[in-house]
Structure 1
Amino acid sequence: MELDKIEKLVEKYFTATTTVAEEKMLREYFLREDIPAHLEQYAPMFQYFASAKEERFTKQLALTQESKGIRGNFYKWASIAAVAVFTIGLYFYNPTPKPISLADEYTQEEIASAQEALALLAMNFNKGTEQLYHLEEFEKNTSKFLTKE
């Protein structure tokens, strides 16, 4: 019964669905000496996990700050200079003036003549598109005759 349960737990472990308690049960099981032959391949992994959990870092770390040298000072002063240039740029920033309306820039006569020219252009453009419609009808009719052969 216990062997069947362990096999199911190993399968659950490799599908990443075990709980912490089930993983602890697996570690304890694989620390034993009497492991079945078909499960011996998993024993080194679980034994390593048990021993790695006990490892501790014991080396003393120095908490003093070392001098950064010329490069560190350069980056510090370059960043201060960049902030200063940005601040001066914001202070002297002159936004573009408000756009001028057409009535302020051109006289009424100039606006009226431009409207007349655009109307003439639109009228001629529409004439050109009407010709395209006739061409399309011609092409449709000729294709009827050509396909009946």
Structure 2
Amino acid sequence: MAVASQTKITPLISSGTAGPLGAVHLPRLWTKLTLAAAGVLPEGYDECGSGFDAMTIEGLGLKKDEVITYIRTRKPTYVEFEEFVRQKGKTDPDTIRKHNQAILGYHHSDEKASTMHKDMGSSQHHVKDAVTLNTLEDLHELHQAVAR
């Protein structure tokens, strides 16, 4: 799909989402890298950060530079990206299970979670898992971009 303008696009794919391979966060990683390659990833979003992005790349036995270069040069569909991951990474069921547990079980520090809740105006301070908080933050960013 061609992007007709340089409007920034908030990546709304949750880190809890998996494609056919079954690895959570992989669709979001592809989304962010694809948006960055097209020049439409909003400021404040890491193209390939040190959190879930790094956990996914390392957890699946991939090389960060190779993944970024592949997305930038080949501009693959998500299905093509998963095939690249199958060819270059480690995708056996045990590896996928461990990766998913690491992502889904990660909680932000109390300080970071508190800051995120405050910034979003959320009173749900019991929510500390990073997947949920990051999704709420993305939805908040979308709202800020279009409703104000």
- Fold shared by both chains (TM-score > 0.5): no
Query: What is the TM-score normalised by the length of structure 1?
Result: 0.22
Report the structure, 1 or 2, having the larger helix content: 1
Query: What is the TM-score normalised by the length of structure 2?
Result: 0.22
- Structure number with the bigger relative contact order (C-alpha 8 A, sep ≥ 6) is 2
